[in-house]
Every structure is written in C-alpha cells, then in structure tokens.
Amino acid sequence: MSLERKDEHDHKGWMQERDLTPVESIYLTVLMWLDKRLRIVDYLEILENLYYKVNMQMPKSHTEQYNLDNKFWYWYPLYALGSFSTIAYVVAAVSGALLGFYYSPAAAGASGSPTVAYEQITFIMTDLNLGFFLRSLHRWSAQVMVAAVFLHMLRVYFTGAYKEPRELNWIIGIVLISLTMVFGYTGYLLPWDQLAFWAGQIGVEMALSVPVAGEWAAQLVFGGFTLTQSTLQRMYILHVFFLPFIATTVIAIHIGIVWMQGIAEPH
C-alpha cells in the first residue's frame, strides 16, 4: 500500500469510528483536503503553540500574586489606559480620514476673503450633514488620546513598569508621546484660523530660537520664516501622511513588545 493510500485509509477509519456531525465531517474533509496540498495542520500547530506560549506569559494578577483578597481591584482601570490611548487613536484616525474628504490645505482665498482651508472647516461645521459631529469626534478623540497617553505614562512610572526588561518600551513610549504631541500641533494649524496662525507663529519663532540650526529648522518644518502656503501644506502632509504611518508602526511595535513580555507586576 502506498503511503498516500495508507493515509487515506487511516483518516477514513478514524472518521468512521466516531459519530461525526455533518458540520464536523465537512470541517475534517476540508481540513484534510487543504492539509494534503498546503500542510495546513503544521501551521495550525505553530499557531496553537504560539497561543499557549503567549498565555503562559500572562503574569498572575496582583491579587493572586500577593494574596491581596481583592483589595487592590480599584487600581486595575489604570492598566487600561494604554488600550484607551489606542482606542482614541483609532477613533481619531477614522474620523480624520473622513474629514479628509472635505478639507483642503489651501492657504489662499479670494482677496479679502477667508482662506480655502478655513472655509472648508466652516462648510464642515455648518453645511455638511453631521459634519460638526465628525469634527468634534476628531478633536475630542485627539484630546482624549493626549490625556490618556500622559496618564498611561504616569501609571507605568508609578508601578515601576519601566524597569528591566521594559526599558526599551519606555523609550518607545517617549517617542509615542512626542509623536502624539506633534500630531496635536500639526492638526491645530490645519483650520488656518487665528488660533492656528498664531500657534504657527510661535512655532516658527521657537524654531528660529534654536542656536546655529534655527533658520534651517524653520525652513525645514515651516517652509520659511513667515507663515505661507508652504507652512500649511507641510503641516497637512505631516498630519495626514507621515505621522499616521510612523505612529501606527511604532504603536504596533510597542504593543507587540507588551504582548511578548506580558504586563509587569508592580515592583
């Protein structure tokens, strides 16, 4: 009997021994068909091993570890702040992508009238169906994210979770809080209203105050020493293109490391 035929015989014999429901039998037939061609069971086993490995890494809760009789349950919500930051980020990303359908980063308007960017914001707020809601969702989720990231950092600090072996994730966290603030700043300039304009002016002056490289920094980030179309366009591309790619990747690495290391026990 060839190896293949023996295999078939074994599978069939096994299937007949047990009373399979129709769903089970379809599942097994499909699995065997795929396994014969793609060795899918090997990969499922790898996934299964990974699943158990990851779960083994989950540390005991504080209550279990220190036999605390549930006295510390009220600290637990603070451990959700990282996830809360992630949720706020996703809401901001989705609402931002939708706002992108209506916004245009044009600093010029007809002479004497507001800029196109500002008029698009006015359109979103007053004429677009649920536009005011979409913009508020974006602004609020962004602000909630800033607050959540900051509080998450405090939680990590006060539980000593930044210590060995989690130093790398702390440093990645510093990058993330910086990216969050740059997201906030670039977004703040996009309506190109008075708040945006003067915040931009402060930014240019801060860049110019950097010793030696000041003028170069202002040129690079703001496209010059005064606020122009180049400034708005740079803020726009940073906000909707560079930062989303960079932040999403860094957040994925950050959470991937937490996944591998497990949550820290309090020190």
Residues in contact with ligand HEM by CB under 6 A are 79, 81-83, 85-86, 89, 149, 152-153, 156, 161-162, 166, 169-170, 173-174, 176-177, 180, 251, 254-255, 258, 263-264
State the nearest-atom distance from the C-beta of 51 to ligand HEM, in Å: 19
State the nearest-atom distance from the C-beta of 60 to ligand HEM, in Å: 13
State the nearest-atom distance from the C-beta of 128 to ligand HEM, in Å: 29
State the nearest-atom distance from the C-beta of 259 to ligand HEM, in Å: 9
Distance CA 259, CA 58 (A): 9
What dihedral angle (degrees, nearest 10) is formed by the CA atoms of 135, 140, 142, 147? Answer: 170
Distance CA 68, CA 90 (A): 35
Instruction: Give 20 or 258: the residue with its C-beta nearer to ligand HEM.
Output: 258
Cα 176 to Cα 74, 128, 152, 224, 239: the distances in Å are: 27, 33, 12, 27, 15
Q: How crowded is residue 85: how many other Cβ atoms within 10 Å of its Cβ?
A: 25
Which residue's CB comes closest to ligand HEM? 173
Instruction: Give 107 or 255: the residue with its C-beta nearer to ligand HEM.
Output: 255
Instruction: Give 90 or 217: the residue with its C-beta nearer to ligand HEM.
Output: 90
Q: ∠ CA 203-221-183 to the nearest 5 degrees?
A: 70
Instruction: Give 176 or 218: the residue with its C-beta nearer to ligand HEM.
Output: 176
Residue type, 4: E
**Residue 250 exposed, middle or buried by CB count within 10 Å (0-12, 13-18, 19+):** middle
Instruction: Give 82 or 223: the residue with its C-beta nearer to ligand HEM.
Output: 82
Instruction: Give 31 or 90: the residue with its C-beta nearer to ligand HEM.
Output: 90
State the nearest-atom distance from the C-beta of 247 to ligand HEM, in Å: 7
* DSSP 8-state secondary structure symbol assigned to residue 78: G
State the nearest-atom distance from the C-beta of 241 to ligand HEM, in Å: 18
Cα 140 to Cα 29, 135, 179, 262: the distances in Å are: 51, 9, 17, 30
User: What tokens were used for 140?
Assistant: 């609020």
State the nearest-atom distance from the C-beta of 185 to ligand HEM, in Å: 15
Q: Which residues of 170-187 are buried (b: 16+ CB within 10 A; e: fewer)?
A: eeebeebeebbebbbbbb
Instruction: Give 118 or 138: the residue with its C-beta nearer to ligand HEM.
Output: 138
